[in-house]
Structure 1
């Protein structure tokens, strides 16, 4: 059995992030999602918000095959929600090529937003899909441009748009990564240490930034059978 990695679940970083980011802005999280898993943490918070009469909805365009229903269910349970209550409000579309991701963003996202009215839009794997595409790199870079140009309008239609980029030397040295980073309003960079995680929030258009230091924590271990009923 694989050894579980330290997992951060704290409201502090989410409170800071949501105070730092204005509605309609684009966030890019760089780095290992096992260090700070914003897609699942933000989804669980949105879907478990006790202050709302009914939970919001979350739309995932998953190009990294990273959506984990068990993780959201575990976080939601800590907020007093059942897996069914939370997971029925998550809408997922997966992309396995850069062309599929382009189709999701350019052709299908607006209709999905109109239908489901998500408060959070998550897009994973954009740089990796385009950087590791089978098409020539210059063609991949050109195909990326209209996708990135469409993101600000999608962000305005939701309360928050979050992108992620996995740690990959080839990706981070590429023009594709640079273009993706330039499309973001705010960049989130977690750096893991042995006992803590430092998270930097940086606004691209100014020198405005914040740093948060988080103590590592490990999740409570539960059997898979406890999540029966979730998707």
Structure 2
């Protein structure tokens, strides 16, 4: 059961300062604009440390220009920073399922973290039955837990569903991660963490 406790720190300060979350798999449940800002900040901080990141995009959003501008601001070649990010996009839940289930175990060792952004966006597609979406999501989460068990931190972002019938998908995610952050425009919720082996920087 996730327990909510309010943190008074405003969202702008959260973006300005790097956080360490003690967990193997972290889920960030937030409106898309907030999730994108935090993820971009996190990617920038990691790549500036010369870390290689695997990024799987499920919501067709990646602000390479923001990362490039930030790199230039710090007098770093944007190309050098962006080369640290290995990305792929998925436009359906079946594609996202395949992207994750076919992650090469040997290549996992090359990365410092795995990011999956907009995890549930394609699962909200009503042309896919709920049972099918739930099955694919469960298989995908099992694979992510296996990846994390090997020592690779995983960050998942998801946006709230506008469809009541699909809200249980977010609950399924919450039951399969080590820390779950729920953020809205007014309140920041502290995660409940069941494990503390890995530190994932946001």
For CA contacts below 8 A with separation 6 or more, give which structure has more relative contact order. Answer: 2
Q: Which is greater in Rg?
A: 1
Task: State the shift of 1:160 in Å.
Answer: 2.1
TM-score (norm 1): 0.70
Task: Give the alignment of 1:1-231 within 5 angstroms.
Answer: 10-12=15-17, 14-15=18-19, 18=20, 20-22=21-23, 25-35=24-34, 37-49=37-49, 55-114=50-109, 117-132=110-125, 134-157=127-150, 159-170=152-163, 173-193=166-186, 198-205=187-194
Q: Give 1:141 shift.
A: 1.0
> TM-score, normalised on structure 2?
0.79
Deviation for aligned residue 1:165: 0.8
Gaps of 5+ in 2: 1-10, 196-202
Query: What's the Cα RMSD here?
Result: 2.6
8 Å CA contact 1:30, 1:187 repeated in 2: yes
Q: Deviations over 1:81-133 (max 9, x none)?
A: 2211100111011111111111111113535424xx11121102222212215
Displacement after TM superposition at 1:77 (Å): 3.1
What's the secondary structure of 2:146's corresponding residue? helix
Q: After TM superposition, where is structure 1 displaced by more than 6 Å over at least 4 residues in a row?
A: 6-9
Deviations along 1:199-229, one digit per CA (max 9) or x if unpaired, are 33311549xxxxxxxxxxxxxxxxxxxxxxx
